[in-house]
Amino acid sequence: MEYTRLGRSGLSVSRLVLGTMNFGPRTTEADSHAIMDRAHEHGVNFFDTANVYGVTPGDGVTEAIIGRWFAQGGGRRDRTVLATKVYLPTGDRPNESGLSALHIRRAVDASLKRLQTDHIDLYQMHHIDRDTPWEEIWEAFSVLRQQGKVLYYGSSNFAGWHLAQAQEAARSRHFLGLVSEQSIYNLMNRWVELEVLPAARAYGLGVIPWSPLNGGVLGGVLRKQEAGAASRGDSGRSAATLARHRDTIEAYEKVCADLGEDPAHVGLAWLLAQDGVTGPIIGPRTVQQLDGSLRALQITLDDATLAELDELFPPPAPNGPKAAPEAYAW
């Protein structure tokens, strides 16, 4: 396993992040525990979850599954860098969503109870809260750090200027601030290259891509269709995306075939090659899927392949990713 620092922090994390969204809704508790055990065997130490993951939003099922796994002992908690999130609704009543000091306090205590631990390593804001001032948010977060309940803070789904706001507000309080930003990022969705990725690099934040295979569309969906195998890319929004971009996906899978590599592994390897990326989130439903994902760490894409992928999936900046965020400034 390869490890890197999480942003400018001293925290060492694996370059693949175990996502747990499937734990409960699509993967049984027993299988979820097996996946986490195998992740540790592979050296994956960075686990990502959220207080709203579960069968229904806010039921906390996924965190509870992880908590019962920790309770088995064997050094499971000590070997895990645990990340969870706060913001999305956990109920219908007032103060059961957002980033008010009240909701943060209640949400962190509820997560700690479900996770059966005394602290969270990385506490992430699941979304920007446009109604709560940064002074309130950082004060609430500083109290949690003083109490030993949270060690580091991160964001998710922030715009570049949100990162700047957050960091400057933290700086005014002499607070470490954010160490990471979790954004949707993949070959088909490269908008973070305009401002989020440059802002994260400037402020020393590690970037954690979610949906690295764009809902399964970059995971070899056409090859799986030909083989009669089920794929996430066959249904819902992924199916609509595939219908619109079928020719591009066909060309992408040919590039991967020429490399002799699985499209899913190439998609992950491409993210690992991007400056500022800590590690993409993989969300295996089975131990076998987890095992397969490790191949991405062994793939090195040469300049010619990276250029070919840029042609298939052009970056949003007019002059390429290196032009951001000044691409439209003069």
Among this protein's residues, is 87 annotated catalytic? no
One-letter amino acid at 142 equals S
CA dist 43 and 254 (Å) reads: 32
One-letter amino acid at 222 equals L
- The single-letter DSSP state of residue 190 is -
Q: Which of 53, 123, 153, 185 is catalytic?
A: 53
Per DSSP bridges, beta strands 178-184 and 12-14 are unpaired
Say whether 253 sits in a helix, a strand or coil.
Answer: helix
CA dist 11 and 82 (Å) reads: 12
Rounded to the nearest 5°, which phi and psi values hold at 39?
-60, -45
Rounded to the nearest 5°, which phi and psi values hold at 282?
-105, 140
What pairs with residue 209 in β-bridges? 183
> Of 63, 114, 60, which is closest to residue 89 (Cα–Cα)?
60
Number of neighbouring beta carbons within 10 Å of residue 159: 18
Confirm if 284 and 253 have CB atoms less than 8 A apart.
no
What are 79's two structure tokens? 């070997």
Per DSSP bridges, beta strands 12-14 and 206-210 are unpaired
Number of neighbouring beta carbons within 10 Å of residue 128: 19
Q: Look at the block and give the residue holding tokens 């619109």.
A: 244
Contacts of 127 (CB under 8 A, 6+ apart): 87, 88, 156, 157
- Residues tagged active-site: 53
